[in-house]
A and B are shown apart, each in its own frame.
Chain A
Amino acid sequence: MPELSYREAVRDALSSAMRADQDVFLMGEDIAEMGGSMGVTQGMLEEFGPERVRNTPISEMAIVGAGIGAAMQGMRPVVEIMYEDFLTLSLEQIVNQAAKHRYMSGGQLKVPLTVRTQGGAGWSPGAQHAQQLEAWLVHVPGLKVVFPSTPSDVRGLLWSSIYDDNPVVFFEHRTLYGLKEELPDELEPVPLGQARVHRAGEDVTVVATGRLVHEALGAAVEAEQEGVSVEVVDPRTLSPLDEAAIVGSVKKTSRCVVAHEAVTRMGFGAEVAAVVSHQAFDWLDAPVERVGARFTPIPFAPVMEEFVVPHHADVLEAIYRAVGRNGG
């Protein structure tokens, strides 16, 4: 059981797919000699060569679009967008092209493209290198959206994304790359659309994504010391969403907190809250609590950045609000 970091787990999924299948190849900015701005593709140029680890110009529209074209011909390209902030540059291609070719063609085409990107605050990169934009993508029919929070999930879900016949936008979190976990030698695919219960609990369900899964797990330990039993559910795939797992958990606990790093307003958590309110209304003992970033761009100064994005204390407060503690 080797110990792999989240970064190495991404690399392992890419390399495994590329060893198994000539149709899998990579495109992205600085991914060859440099190994990617986050070091994810380090060493892959040496193993697979420049035809399959393709360094690209700074052309987000063209590299995503080229991925679409190669995918329409039956290849399984993986495009890296260096920061999800730059995903905005390629949104026309993702939203109007990748997501719609199958539909507009009446089912003639498939676009098995994976677009990997990463982002997140916590290291003061400022407003254009730290956003969490997953909510923009889950709103688009035709796309699948994945946001893993652990090494085993990132490895297994990336494999499944590459072999899914639909376009997948695959979010990685900047601050999780160093996170380590013992993983089996053999890659175990994780199916898209299945949530993971990280921790069973009785009193409140926290539905968390990305970095906030770990913040929620930390908060759960503290809450337990106060006698509050917390269940932590990570949807892992945001679209399609495993509604059954979330609703099932809430029906057990009767309380729900949703937590993500992206801004709260109109965020992914709003959809989760709506699903829970609708499908588990009679089971709920409290309104669904939401945790997310404040409605500002991500500021630079560490003290402001820390204030804007949520941490485990914010999750903990939300848990206590949900169970009626702290004056509730």
Chain B
Amino acid sequence: MAKVEEKRGSRQPERLRDLYRQMLLIRRFEEKVEDRFRAGELPGFLHVAIGQEAVAVGVCSALEDGDVFASTHRAHGHTLARGTPPNAVMAELYGKREGCSGGYGGSMHLYDVERGNLGANAVVGGGLPAIVGAALSFKLRDEPHVAVAFFGDGATNIGTFHESLNLAELWQVPALFVCENNRWAESTPGAQHSPVWDDMSKRALAFDMRAIKVDGQDVEEVFTRTREALEHVRSGAGPVFLDVECERLVGHYVGDPQVYRPKGQQAELRETRDPVTLLRERLDLSDEDADEVDREVTEVVEASVEFAKTGTDPSPEDALNNVYA
């Protein structure tokens, strides 16, 4: 308890309130995305990360300019948390030229290279090797940046994960591996896909990589632990594996009936483990203050929908551009 009190004492309320605002923005953004998808306005299909906002915000807030990251099919949160304007993300989901990938990518391929977003990847584990390579380039060029890979527990069973962690540790490159362990690989529960599903840090042990366990529902802890990890990585002491235990408070995709999930589990988790609620309680926000933040981010989200809907459709022939440099 003493340790917790000490942490609380050193808290920066302003920063925490900002993290709260960011998390709520992502939450409202994704709720709106679900809503517009169900209304038939968004092409393709979508994965939202409701419940995992603290991971995106905690990690991305700890990054510095020049750091890069690779995201996953569940990418809206990471992208917004790194500062890509909601307008550009929403416009991408609507397939508009103003989108952050110019309408070429969609929900599963959000890019914002200027802000270090090297792309959301729709192949599970597909982005990890490039993060090792980006980190290697930082090392070879003596640049003080870190390359970060986001991935889920499901990705820890694919070859790229093992090859990438091995190479990163072997070459001591400045990479951070953020495992968002929500204990679901799509519909398959952790116990059915991994012998170490309840302690993913054991994966890092095999590569002699430093691992840090993090409660992914606690944004303050995610932020603090990420900072700690980044210091280690940036000092040249080698890559770090963040074992972030978190909760996916939604289905795998928007519209997923979740026949595989125990009845009542999601509702219970929403009551007890919602990271937005947990932070709001910790901040002890008055209803008035909370409503104000909510109004503010909701306006931003509404405006992004308006921006996206009035955006420019690509011409069909635009499909022929950007194949080659």
Binding site for B on A (CB under 8 A): 25, 51-52, 54, 56-57, 59, 61-75, 77, 92-93, 96-97, 101-110, 112, 141-142, 144, 165-166
Chain B residues near A96: list those with CB within 8 A. Answer: 123, 126
Please state if A57 and B166 are interface contacts (CB–CB under 8 Å): yes
Cross-chain contact A105 with B119 (CB below 8 angstroms): yes
Is the CB of B184 closer than 8 A to any CB of chain A? no
B111 touches A71 (CB 8 A): no
State whether A62 touches B129 (Cβ < 8 A): yes
Tally chain B residues at the interface, Cβ within 8 Å: 45
In the complex, the answer to whether A165 meets B325 with C-beta atoms within 8 Å is yes
Q: Which of these, A68, A107, A142, contacts B130 with CB under 8 Å?
A: A68
**A92, A97, A104: which contacts B111 (Cβ < 8 A)?**
A104
Given contacts A62-B160, A62-B167, A65-B160, are A105 and B105 in contact (CB under 8 A)?
yes
Q: List 12 A-B contacts (CB under 8 A).
A: A62-B132, A66-B130, A66-B167, A70-B134, A93-B160, A102-B322, A104-B105, A105-B101, A105-B104, A106-B104, A107-B322, A142-B324
A112 to chain B, nearest CB (A): 8
Stretch at the interface among B135-143, B247-255, B301-309: B135-143
Residue of B nearest to A165 (CB): B325
Q: Kindly state the separation between the CA atoms of A77 and B325 in the bound complex, as whole angstroms.
A: 17
Q: Is B42 an interface residue (CB 8 A)?
A: no
Q: Are B167 and A59 in contact (CB under 8 A)?
A: yes
Which residues of the partner chain B approach A107 to less than 8 Å between Cβ atoms?
102, 104, 321-322
Minimum Cβ distance to chain A for residue B16 (Å): 33
Residues of B within 8 A of A65 (CB): 128-130, 132-133, 160, 163-164
- CB pair B166–A73 under 8 Å, yes or no, is no
Flag whether B285 is at the interface (Cβ < 8 A): no
Contact between B133 and A61 (Cβ–Cβ < 8 Å)? no
B137, A73: Cβ atoms closer than 8 Å: yes
Q: Tell yes or no: B159 within 8 A of A by CB.
A: yes
List the B side residues contacting A71 at CB < 8 Å.
Answer: 133
B120 and chain A: residue at smallest CB distance: A104
Given contacts A68-B129, A102-B324, contact A51 B166 (CB under 8 A): no
Please, how many angstroms separate the alpha-carbon atoms of A110 and B134 in the complex? 13
Contact of A69 among B114, B131, B323 (CB under 8 A): B131
Tell me how far the C-beta of A105 lies from the nearest C-beta in chain B, rounded to whole angstroms: 4
Given known pairs A65-B132, A69-B136, A77-B133, the reply for A106 and B167 (CB within 8 Å) is no
Q: A165 CA to B166 CA in the complex, in Å?
A: 29
Contacts of A166 in B (CB 8 A): 324-325
Binding site for A on B (CB under 8 A): 68, 99, 101-105, 109, 111-114, 118-119, 121, 123, 126-138, 140-141, 147, 159-160, 163-164, 166-167, 170-171, 321-325
Tell whether, in the assembled complex, residue A109 and residue B111 are in contact, meaning their CB atoms are under 8 Å apart: yes
A108 and B167 contacting across the interface, CB-CB below 8 Å: no
Question: Considering the complex of A and B, which 7 residue pairs feature the smallest CB-CB distances, nearest first?
Answer: A65-B129, A69-B133, A106-B102, A62-B163, A69-B130, A66-B133, A165-B325
10 additional contacts (CB under 8 A) given A107-B322, A109-B118: A57-B166, A61-B160, A67-B133, A69-B118, A69-B129, A70-B140, A72-B134, A109-B113, A142-B323, A165-B325
Contact A62 B164 (CB under 8 A): yes
Minimum C-beta distance from B128 to chain A (A): 7
Quote the shortest CB–CB distance from B273 to chain A (angstroms): 33
Asked if A72 meets B321 with Cβ closer than 8 Å, knowing A62-B167, A106-B104, the reply is: no
Q: Is the CB of A141 within 8 A of B166?
A: no
Q: How far is the CA of A206 from the CA of B141 in the complex (A)?
A: 47
Q: Which of B105, B131, B137, B164 is in CB contact (< 8 Å) with A75? A: B137
Compute how far the CA of A11 lies from the CA of B124 in the bound complex, rounded to whole angstroms. Answer: 36
Contact indicator B166/A70 (Cβ below 8 Å):
no
Judge whether B134 and A61 touch: CB under 8 Å. Answer: no
Q: Which residue of B lies closest to A100 (CB)?
A: B109
**Smallest CB separation, A9 vs chain B (Å):** 26
Structural contact, A104 and B101, CB atoms closer than 8 A: yes
Which residues of chain B are within 8 angstroms of A68 by Cβ–Cβ distance? Answer: 129-130, 133
| Chain B min CB distance to A88 (Å) | 13
**Residue numbers in B under 8 Å from A59 (CB-CB):** 163, 166-167
Cα of A109 to Cα of B127 in the assembled complex, Å: 14
A72 to B134, CA, bound (A): 7
Set A57, A67, A106, A144: member contacting B163, Cβ < 8 A = A57
B325's partner among A61, A106, A110 (CB-CB below 8 A) is A110
Q: Is the CB of B160 within 8 A of A66?
A: no
Contact A102–B323 (Cβ < 8 Å): yes
A68 to B137, CA, bound (A): 11
Inside 8 A of B121's CB, which chain A residues have their CB? Answer: 97
Establish whether residues A97 and B130, one from each chain, have CB atoms under 8 Å apart when the complex forms.
yes
Query: Are A56 and B104 neighbours in the complex by a CB distance under 8 Å?
Result: no
Which residues of the other chain, A, contact B114 by a CB distance below 8 angstroms? Answer: 108
Q: How many angstroms from the CA of A72 to the CA of B203 in the assembled complex? A: 28
**Chain A residue nearest to B104 in the complex (CB):** A106
Closest residue on chain B to residue A62 by CB atoms: B163
Interface centre among A67, A70, A73, A97 (most CB of B within 10 A): A73
Nearest neighbor of A99 in chain B, beta-carbon distance: B323
Q: How far, in angstroms, from A142 to B322 measured CA to CA in the complex?
A: 9
Q: What is the CB-to-nearest-CB distance from B171 to chain A, in angstroms, rounded to a whole number?
A: 8
Rounded to whole Å, the gap between the CB of B7 and the closest CB of chain A is 35
